[in-house]
Chain A
Amino acid sequence: MREISYTDALREALREEMARDATVFVLGEDIAEYGGAFGVTRGLLDAYGSQRVLNTPISEPGFTGAAIGAALTGTRPVVEIMFMDFIGLVTDQLVNQAAKLHYVLGEQAPCPLVVRTAGGGGRCYGPTHSQTLEAWFMHVPGIKIVVPSTPADAKGLLKTAIRDDNPVLFIEHKMLYSRRGNVLEGDAALLPFGRARCITEGDDLTMIAWSWMSAEAEAAAKELEAGGVSVDLFDPRTLAPLDMAPLEESVRKTGRALIVEEGCRTAGVSAEIACRLFECVHEYLDAPIRRLASPDVPVPASPVLEEAMIPDRNAIVQAAIELVQS
């Protein structure tokens, strides 16, 4: 066990998987000498050469589509889309090609593609460099979605993503790149998809949060605990597949659920989780399921406005107290 940053953990995952499997290669904008906009791929060019660390022109649909073709023909590409907002450019590639081809071509060839991208706000990058868009892709059959919040999850889940035979959308978070935590080496670091992580245990309410919101919720849970409210806090870690069983089990115990989401409220991930909980455990609920999400507005650039938009630990504490008192 070593304590490293989320960025270093991601880089270790790439290094280890590229060393293990010669068919793994990375491609994206400014990922070679520059090392990627957030430094994740720094050093890979020296280690693996320009054949396997491909700097691309600014052609997201073109190179993502190329990665799909490469994935269908025996390699394991890992694409970097610099900001998740740019995923709009590659939606056709992901939705109409990567996600469907295995099924619609009669299961002839897997599409082992990973698309890594940096999502979320918190840095005042403005409306097209700060969005949280995982909900879009939860609606698409055929794509797995990973939303790691710790270095261990980042490393373990990226390694698993690269070994997975399906398209995986791997959503990193700008506010987490510097987060530190312990990681393991090699295969010991691997983590399965579809396993929620229980962060804190408690009886008063169930809280569900992922990515940056998971870190904020963890801080909130500590504060709540100090105030006498104990929280069962879960990070689903992957949204597709979504591990509902422990969440349902928890709500049976607590009778209250708060889902915290950085993305916009309407038709968000929390709506899906709330609905699934309601379908399964409604008779155990002591209060309506509560969603804490961003309002339905574009992410503004001003720090004051952005702060007002995205839920933080204080907003989570407040929502939790209201829910427990209801």
Chain B
Amino acid sequence: MGWTLTLCTTYDSTSVRDETRWENIRAPNSESKTKEFRLQGRTCMYRKIRCAMQELIDHYRTMLVIRFFEEEVEDLFSQGVVKGTTHPAIGQEAVAVGACAALRPGDYVTSTHRGHGHFLARGGDPKRIMAELFGKQSGYSGGRGGSQFMADFSLGFLGGNGITGGSIPVATGAALSAKLQASEQIALCFFGDGAANQGTFHESLNLVAIWKLPVVYVCENNMYAMSMPVGDAFAVTDIADRAAGYGFPGVVVDGNDPIAVQRAVETAAERARQGEGATLIECKTYRLSGHSRGDQRHYRTREEEARARAADPILRLREMLSADGTLSDEDDVSLKDEARRVVSDAVTFAQESEYPDPTTLEKGVFA
């Protein structure tokens, strides 16, 4: 067993809001346990978190697969090998991996337009995800859905969505159906900062609150809704604050720390399973890539991107694992090779798969 020390910031609705920047503070030699303190007007909490090193290695491995998968996809799109559009989650791997690690089999997950990472973290088959991007029959949706519409109901993964916030009401419904059927399932709802300004976000949080449904909202605040910075789109500093308006807790966590995300989701999932209702977890992270193919990123500076790259969740996790001797350089190379092989196998599978038969075009509009 090893230890990581994570800064969790709990919101305090009575405190004065200010321009506090989020950061991760790690102090491997610290002996302190959970400790509350005030930081620039908000209540914060150090939590010394105990976790198995193997778990961290597993997170690292999955994050690498997501990173290499998305880089490969960006490449394939820019070469024109794959058509249409895609929204890479480069830089946001810790949210997907941490959140999904906190779930049980059978729990529902709803995703977004930037959903490959969520799907991979939930156990989706990289081959079938890649094949879907290629528009092949062997893809999860037989080539009909593309990047934004992929699901595996056997994993409880109810799919991404091409409408920003489109899956938020679906999560309400999945949780409602779990409650009506008296199952222990919960629904984990991924969405971005952009979706938090859709009307359905507010309606859904209210419905879930009044019906006390088992939903865990995981907001991936990657700082931009396409080009719009969160500071221009929100008059509050933390999206998590909005939970207070619906009567359930909102917490801010470092979205570049998979363990911080995982522990927050575990706590929220437990609350949900106990019938205590929803939690909104805002994971502050950064979209290291452009919004989609062709994004020239005129709306932000290269300096800002360089600062964000220094906080790259994969680099950070690797440094942490190396620093305490858990991960040798050799291990790191072999994990990366393994992850690259997963991705290249997926590409080979997709390339070798057949396109759907055009005569099936009109099949399946109705069940």
Interface residues of A (CB under 8 A from B): 23, 25, 51-52, 54, 56-57, 59, 61-75, 77, 92-93, 96-97, 100-112, 141-142, 144, 165-166
Contact status of A71 and B366, CB under 8 A, knowing A63-B207, A108-B151: no
* Bound form: Cα–Cα A146–B241 in Å: 44
| Besides A61-B203, A65-B168, 20 other A-B contacts (C-beta < 8 A) | A57-B206, A62-B169, A62-B207, A63-B203, A63-B207, A66-B207, A69-B175, A72-B174, A73-B178, A74-B181, A96-B162, A96-B163, A97-B163, A100-B149, A105-B151, A107-B364, A109-B151, A112-B367, A165-B366, A166-B366
Tell me if B230 counts as interface (CB < 8 A to partner A). no
Please count the residue pairs between chain A and chain B whose beta carbons lie under 8 angstroms apart in the complex.
146
Tell me whether A74 and B177 are in contact (CB under 8 A).
yes
Tell me whether B145 and A65 are in contact (CB under 8 A).
no
Q: Would you mind naming 7 contact pairs between A and B with Cβ atoms under 8 Å apart?
A: A65-B168, A66-B172, A70-B174, A75-B176, A97-B170, A101-B159, A108-B141
* Bound form: Cα–Cα A62–B210 in Å: 13
Tell me if B200 counts as interface (CB < 8 A to partner A). yes
Residues of A within 8 A of B180 (CB): 23, 25, 51-52, 70, 75
Interface residues of B (CB under 8 A from A): 108, 110, 139-142, 144-145, 149-153, 158-159, 161-163, 166, 168-178, 180-181, 187, 199-200, 202-204, 206-207, 210-211, 364-367
Q: Taking CB as reference atom, which chain A residue is nearest B200?
A: A61
Tell me whether B166 and A97 are in contact (CB under 8 A).
yes
B124 to chain A, nearest CB (A): 13
Tell me whether B172 and A65 are in contact (CB under 8 A).
yes
A84 to chain B, nearest CB (A): 20
* In-complex Cβ contact of A105 among B159, B172, B206 (8 A): B159
Q: Taking CB as reference atom, which chain A residue is nearest B173?
A: A69
Tell me whether B366 and A142 are in contact (CB under 8 A).
yes
* Bound form: Cα–Cα A276–B366 in Å: 22
Tell me whether B177 and A68 are in contact (CB under 8 A).
no
Tell me whether B176 and A109 are in contact (CB under 8 A).
no
B362 to chain A, nearest CB (A): 9
* Bound form: Cα–Cα A72–B176 in Å: 11
Q: Which 9 A-B pairs rank lowest in CB-CB distance, beginning with the nearest?
A: A69-B173, A65-B169, A62-B203, A110-B367, A69-B170, A106-B141, A59-B203, A70-B173, A66-B172
Residues of B within 8 A of A23 (CB): 180-181
Residues of A within 8 A of B365 (CB): 102-103, 141-142
* In-complex Cβ contact of B145 among A57, A77, A106, A142 (8 A): A106
Tell me whether B366 and A102 are in contact (CB under 8 A).
yes
* Bound form: Cα–Cα A96–B181 in Å: 27
Q: Taking CB as reference atom, which chain A residue is nearest B204?
A: A62
B155 to chain A, nearest CB (A): 11
Q: Taking CB as reference atom, which chain A residue is nearest B207?
A: A62
* Bound form: Cα–Cα A108–B149 in Å: 12
Tell me whether B200 and A73 are in contact (CB under 8 A).
no
* Bound form: Cα–Cα A70–B110 in Å: 13
A29 to chain B, nearest CB (A): 12
* Bound form: Cα–Cα A69–B211 in Å: 15
* Bound form: Cα–Cα A107–B170 in Å: 17
Residues of B within 8 A of A77 (CB): 173
* Bound form: Cα–Cα A199–B84 in Å: 50
* Bound form: Cα–Cα A111–B158 in Å: 12
A233 to chain B, nearest CB (A): 29
Contact status of A69 and B203, CB under 8 A, knowing A102-B366, A104-B145: no
* Bound form: Cα–Cα A64–B367 in Å: 20
* Bound form: Cα–Cα A64–B199 in Å: 13
B203 to chain A, nearest CB (A): 3
Q: Taking CB as reference atom, which chain A residue is nearest B201?
A: A62
A107 to chain B, nearest CB (A): 4
B242 to chain A, nearest CB (A): 15
Residues of A within 8 A of B177 (CB): 69-70, 73-75
* Bound form: Cα–Cα A93–B204 in Å: 13
* Bound form: Cα–Cα A142–B364 in Å: 9
Q: Taking CB as reference atom, which chain B residue is nearest A89?
A: B199
Residues of A within 8 A of B149 (CB): 100-101, 104-105
Residues of B within 8 A of A74 (CB): 177, 181
